[in-house]
Amino acid sequence: MDVSDNLSKIAPWISKTTACMELRLVQPQLGHPDASEPVSYTAFEPTFTYPIFGEQEVVFGYKGLSIKISYTSGSLRIYPCIDYKQKYEPGSSSSATTTATPEGPDDVSNMLLDFLPKQDCFSNYDEFVRAVQEDAESFRPIGEKIHEYSRESSESGEEHFEIYRTSFINEKFKKYHRRMQFFVLLLIEGSSYIEENDEKWEIYTVYKRQNTGGSTIYHFVGYCTTYPFFYWPECTRLRISQFLILPPYQKEGHGSELYQTIYSTCMSRNDVKELTVEDPSEDFADMRDRNDMRYLNTHNAFDKLVAPVSRKTMKELRQKFKLTDRQMQRCIEMYLLSRVNPKQKEEYKAFRLQVKQRLYLFNLDALRDLDPEDRKDKLEQTFDNVIEDYHRLLEMI
């Protein structure tokens, strides 16, 4: 049997895990006492599964594989359910094994349980449903409530949300974090679990608060982890590490609300001198830019600024508003672009040179090896791309 024949026999037993996995947030079936099903759920798919199933994001040995991971919507206790239509059996006539065929099916259950807190996982669906109903009544967010806000919903009217802050000093929260951290592996590229024995981590969690029939039920929305680093001489640089809003709640402003809360907290703390972000995604960078610009505009940070803005002024603004040097320069450039008149040649030239100077220094390693003409062309191209992106962001502010 040649390789192509062998692959054709193996292929039906290979499942793409991003396609066959589903995550569910489960809550009691409210307002329908006669409903045949006591719970309802909101489902979404993972973006990535390679931290669990490997770089190719596939498992071998099943046809019709289904991986459903259900969470109680507030307390995040877990019911993993793995189902399939047919399982590969080595040596059987149906599997047509060869020396190049895998010895047996992948152990999907154990692959999952390597990343899930086993003590918080149910193996019986009825027990999980009871937990959904019980936890809806008893679960309360852990930590200190630092902010609350409302959103209008076309389906349910005004909805209420709360943000809490805590750390791993709280043992109860440490156990809770073991349940919620699984989401980052599936939804944030390149993410990994953080060290729960490091009590310096500060974690901000977001919940939807639902009031019904005299009861209050909390639903998990998302969270952010931050870590304090030394900032000379005796202060702190706070770094945003993981930032996640679950897909059912995305595009509703919850990320902005969470970021604004963290930023406002930094502004109120004398020990924190700078807020940084670890390897931000494009979506996060956009959200951050919009919110920083709104905050700086609201607090009149750019009053009377014209290009070229001196390094002394930039430093004063950066220190006052606790942003990194690059982030403050970008915000200043966006502000200047929104005010500059391209028809005023000297005015626009001063703006253009200021942006190009930053871009040159930022990309110095890549530009220094080019000959002068290529360097000029590359810098001009980079400038055009940045200006185009600034226009896009300014339209959203």
Please, where are the H alpha helices in the chain? 3-10, 17-20, 50-53, 108-113, 125-138, 171-180, 182-187, 254-268, 282-298, 311-321, 325-339, 345-362, 364-367, 372-396
Cα distance between residue 193 and residue 204, in whole Å: 16
- For residue 32, the model assigns a pLDDT of 57
Q: Report the candidate in 252, 255, 253, 250 with the shortest Cα–Cα distance to residue 240.
A: 255
Beta strands 235-245; 272-277: pairing state: parallel
Question: What does the pLDDT read at residue 96?
Answer: 45
Cis peptide before 372 (omega within 30 of 0): no
β-strand 86-87 against 78-83: which pairing, if any?
A: unpaired
Q: Residue 214 corresponds to which tokens in the numbers above? A: 């005299």
Q: What is the largest CA-CA distance in the chain?
A: 81
Question: Which residue ranges are tagged as binding site for acetyl-CoA?
Answer: 243-245, 250-256, 290
| C-alpha span between 132 and 130 (Å, rounded) | 5
In angstroms, the Cα distances linking 114 to 14, 107, 124 are: 21, 11, 19
Q: How far apart are the first and last CA of the chain?
A: 62
Structure tokens at 114: 């390597």
Domains of the chain, with CATH numbers?
3-137 (3.90.360.10), 141-279 (3.40.630.30), 299-397 (no CATH)
**Residues within the annotated binding site?**
243-245, 250-256, 290
pLDDT in tens, 185-237: 999 999 999 999 999 999 999 999 998 878 899 999 999 999 999 988 889 99
Between the alpha carbon of residue 4 and those of residues 8, 12, 105, the distances in Å are 6, 13, 20
Confirm if 205 and 166 have CB atoms less than 8 A apart.
Answer: yes
Catalytic residues: 278
Please provide residue 207's backbone torsions phi and psi, each rounded to the nearest 5 degrees: -135, 145
Distance CA 297, CA 275 (A): 18
pLDDT of residue 153: 80
pTM: predicted TM-score of the whole model, two decimal places: 0.92
Looking at residue 168, its pLDDT comes to 97
User: pLDDT at position 10, please?
Assistant: 84
Residue range 327-362, pLDDT digits in tens: 999 999 999 999 999 889 999 999 999 999 999 998
Residue 90, pLDDT score = 79
Enumerate residue ranges in the chain where pLDDT < 70: 1-7, 31-36, 91-102
Q: Is 348 helix (H, G, I), strand (E, B) or coil?
A: helix
Tokens of 12: 């039906």
**Residues contacting residue 278 through CB under 8 Å, at least 6 positions apart:** 239, 240, 241
Cα separation, 229 vs 127, in Å, equals: 44
Taking alpha carbons only, the member of 9, 38, 22 closest to residue 83 is: 22
Sequence-separated (6 or more) residues with CB below 8 Å from residue 316: none
